[in-house]
Amino acid sequence: MPWVASGRDSGRPHGDVDVSVRLGDMPAVRAWLAAEGLYDPALDSLDLGCNESQNDFGAHALVDGVLVSFCPFHFEGRDLRQRNAALAVTDGFDALLEAVVPGVAEGDLFEERALPGGTVIGCATLESVRAAKVASGREKDAHDVAEIDRIGYDPARYACAAAYGAMRIECVAHGEKAGNLRMGVRVAAAARTPRSARHRARVPPAEGSYLTKRPPPRTP
């Protein structure tokens, strides 16, 4: 996200893209994907066998060979609940994941931002992105944190860092192949999103899956 805000080249490959979407807007996202010829039910959380409740944990799409995840979020009181789904075709297992960030309001985490080209988008604040990336502790995120520091951020809004430090990730449901997922979710308590949780589960992608077929990541 900081590279979108600054318009600068990150200088490193990005193999996938996560887009946070209001839970109520997911039907519009699916309609848009279908209209663009990008919708694939095999990449939709609603079609997972473990999703007996039919709750919406998002949808994924391959766009120019890059996996794009549309991840729904909603608030319960002052708790942000950010959902995502791991899929057997991309991760080797099916699972419904939810990150809970306690004690925050929508205005603490999201804002409208004008990009260098003039387009205005709704996005996470630089402060919340920095807090999440610092909490992740991943080496690649340190590069993004440095870019945010170069852009500059509001220390007063950085109070959200405490909430990300208290974030928890829950495995709501999973398929048969996710035997070690719960351990992975516990390890990922400091990760930034449910996607990180499924990466920490360390289940290799299934042979012939979307991940093994995808071309090398591009550098934006």
Per-residue pLDDT of the chain (220 residues; tens, 9 = 90+): 788 788 888 887 777 888 999 999 999 999 999 999 999 999 999 999 999 999 999 999 999 888 999 999 999 999 999 999 999 888 889 999 999 999 998 888 888 878 778 888 888 889 999 998 888 888 888 889 999 999 999 998 898 899 988 999 999 998 775 555 543 443 333 233 444 444 433 333 333 333 333 333 343 3
Report pLDDT for 179: 52
> Which pLDDT score, from 0 to 100, does residue 180 have?
52
Asked if residue 216 is part of any domain, the answer here is no
> Which amino acid, residue 57?
F
- Bridge partner residues of 96 (DSSP): 85, 173
What is the Cα–Cα distance from 84 to 189, expressed in whole angstroms?
A: 15
In a domain, 39, yes or no: yes
Please give the residue range of the domain that contains residue 178. Answer: 2-204
Please report the pLDDT score of residue 220 as a whole number: 39
Domain count, the chain: 1
Angle at 157 between CA 9 and CA 25, to 5 degrees: 70
Residue 111 lies in a domain: yes
Task: Specify if 159 maps to a domain.
Answer: yes
- Domain-located, residue 83: yes
The first and second tokens of residue 217, run together, are 């990541």
Which residue type is seen at 212?
Answer: T
Strand ranges for 51-182 from DSSP E:
59-63, 66-76, 79-86, 95-101, 110-114, 120-124, 168-174
User: How far apart are the C-alpha atoms of 38 and 18, rounded to whole Å?
Assistant: 16
Question: Would you say 207 and 133 are in contact if contact means Cβ atoms under 8 Å apart?
Answer: no
* pTM exceeds 0.85 for this model: no
Short-list 192, 15, 184, 181, CA closest to 94: 181
The pLDDT value given to residue 152? 92
pLDDT at 210: 38
Quick one: pLDDT at residue 62?
A: 93
What is residue 209's predicted lDDT score, i.e. its pLDDT? 37
Letter string b/e over residues 173-195, b meaning 16 or more CB atoms within 10 A of that residue's CB: bbbebbeebeebbeebebbbbbb
3-state secondary structure 99-124: EEECCCCHHHHEEEEECCCCCEEEEE
Residue 213 lies in a domain: no
Q: Look at residue 177 in the predicted model and tell me its pLDDT.
A: 56
